[in-house]
Structure 1
């Protein structure tokens, strides 16, 4: 009996020693976390990161636009566009366009509904998402209505259009009366006899600068381009706010904007890009190291035409001797 008790005590002592690891930690005191609890912890951490990104609109020190915020929030929550498209019934390429703020392929009237649905799926304040998106992409008619409503004191009574209509009709009547009077006076004027004398027509040029004016008369045909002298971010917008380009261009990459269309360009560093016409450098988008917003493309055309015309004028002056 004593032998059996000693054997059992020895076994218990051996089990007690086996429960201690090499670093002295008792295995019996370590509670393993379940896979479900691990997933819940990961989800909570992702939600905290997502809320921080949305609140600060920054990611790793980089300022984000609303489309980029939506993308970073989705990544923090470990969500895939394919899964979101299936659950929200929004096409995956539309979701990608919303994140890139390239929404010209989305039919008018649908963007606001897509933004509300996407924000609700990500757990973000829906109206705030639409309003911030509106401020950064305000040229889109379908999101203009989401802008903050003015206070009651700022709302004015809608003016009637009748005064404008009456004024327009009076102006039109005055123009017609003036035209009729002029026609009557011309018909009543005495006819002058036709002259049979020959009329001399000068074939000489008005000045030495005639060729230069001819070359600069149509600057719209100039191949004006934007060239990245070093890697930098560039955004190109149309006159209605449509974003045609919004990405980082590599050094030496060229973009040809549409001319005489009211387009504008923006960049974080004006010295990263140059206006060029072929090999002729018209100038930089802005000062080196300074941010540039909504610079007009069309305003560069006269300067480019002037720079291109300067060599032509100089060559003309050398070719034609001065008149004694």
Structure 2
């Protein structure tokens, strides 16, 4: 019988092929460990970025932190600008920490406060860290209230002012004595009788006087009324901010009178002065920014507008 030389080779090939198949099956069925899934919410990831001041191992300044938090929460500059009424370029400058392009006078603090509140971050910590990193500490000495820059200057000795005051008082006293001696040389003249005409047809006691000379009634209910949504800032005479936020249409604010308060707004036409139901006039031009408008300077105009109504009510407040 002839021996088949191909049989052993065939068996070896079959065995080798079978071994390769088993190895391939083992390679395919080898379990692969799944990647660890991040189950944290966007808010949790955003707060971690804020606490650590870092993102993917990179240290961040506060402006970069605000940007990363915003992106993690899925927010856009355009959306935040529409909701807060903050200008888009202001928000971009804040994130880039280009504060030199922002208006002065406490606007940095106000914008940071609004932006941090919108992102649900602690406002005071954001303002403190941001101003330290960008060199704006002098603009915001305290988180709130925010004084003017002039109030942060180091105290100066007051004795030169005292000496100058004494000198001026001395000059005034000497001038008064000399004037009295000069006036004594002239004989006193009896005042000529005057005839006062009484017009009973005047509609008010103030109708015969100039607007600037009319006495301002005490406790006049002068208010700033928002005719549409707009941002308003009210400051005291020392720079203290009493209001700095977006007011909704229909909201009113009663500033303190005869106290040197000022008002600023991004749209002067969004607010108007009122006394009760009487409209005195707009805060400023339509669509124009107004800065440091004096509250006290509105009092004569408000007294003139409210005079007829107050006279009809017997001198009481205008009806509301």
- TM-score tier (shorter): 0.5 to 0.7
Deviation of the 1:17 alpha carbon = 2.5
Is residue 128 of structure 2 the alignment partner of residue 130 of structure 1?
no
Structure in which a larger fraction of residues adopt helix: 1
Distance 1:211 1:144, change over 3 A: same
Deviation of the 1:252 alpha carbon = 0.9
Q: Secondary structure at the match of 2:136?
A: helix
Match for residue 318 of structure 1?
none
Is residue 139 of structure 2 the alignment partner of residue 139 of structure 1?
no
Distance 1:172 1:271, change over 3 A: same
Deviation of the 1:245 alpha carbon = 0.8
Match for residue 14 of structure 1?
25
For 2:194 and 2:269, the matched residues in 1 are separated by 52
Deviation of the 1:172 alpha carbon = 1.8
Structural mapping, 1:100-179, within 5 Å = 118-119=128-129, 124-125=132-133, 128-133=135-140, 137-139=146-148, 143-145=152-154, 165-166=166-167, 168-176=169-177, 178-179=179-180
TM-score (norm 1): 0.54
Deviation of the 1:241 alpha carbon = 0.9
After superposition, give the CA deviation of every residue in 1:136-188 in whole Å (9 maximum; x if it has no partner): 94527763459xxxxxxxxxxxx898677545424323424555x489889xx
Which moves more between the two structures, 246-255 or 304-313?
Answer: 304-313
Q: Secondary structure at the match of 1:17?
A: helix
Is residue 283 of structure 2 the alignment partner of residue 257 of structure 1?
no
- On the 8 A contact 1:220/1:301 being kept in 2, the answer is no
Match for residue 269 of structure 1?
267
Q: Secondary structure at the match of 2:274?
A: strand
Distance 1:261 1:42, change over 3 A: closer
Match for residue 154 of structure 1?
none
Q: Secondary structure at the match of 2:140?
A: helix
TM-score (norm 2): 0.55
Deviation of the 1:130 alpha carbon = 0.8
- Unaligned 5+ segments in structure 1 are 21-26, 82-94, 100-114, 147-158, 193-199, 315-324
For 2:283 and 2:173, the matched residues in 1 are separated by 46
For 1:48 and 1:242, the matched residues in 2 are separated by 32
- Unaligned 5+ segments in structure 2 are 1-10, 40-44, 71-75, 78-87, 92-106, 313-320
Q: Which residue of 82, 90, 108 maps to 1:66?
A: 108
Match for residue 245 of structure 1?
243
Q: Please, what is the CA RMSD of the aligned residues?
A: 5.3
Distance 1:277 1:171, change over 3 A: closer
- On the 8 A contact 1:219/1:302 being kept in 2, the answer is no
Distance 1:289 1:143, change over 3 A: same
Q: Which residue of 40, 48, 51 maps to 2:63?
A: 51
After superposition, give the CA deviation of every residue in 1:181-233 in whole Å (9 maximum; x if it has no partner): 489889xx99x9xxxxxxx9989736644833189522443211111111211
For 1:288 and 1:123, the matched residues in 2 are separated by 33
For 2:305 and 2:60, the matched residues in 1 are separated by 55
Deviation of the 1:235 alpha carbon = 0.9
Structural mapping, 1:146-225, within 5 Å = 165-166=166-167, 168-176=169-177, 178-179=179-180, 181=181, 205=198, 208-209=201-202, 211-213=204-206, 216-225=214-223
For 1:311 and 1:74, the matched residues in 2 are separated by 43
For 1:71 and 1:248, the matched residues in 2 are separated by 9
Equivalenced residues, count: 243
Deviation of the 1:251 alpha carbon = 1.4
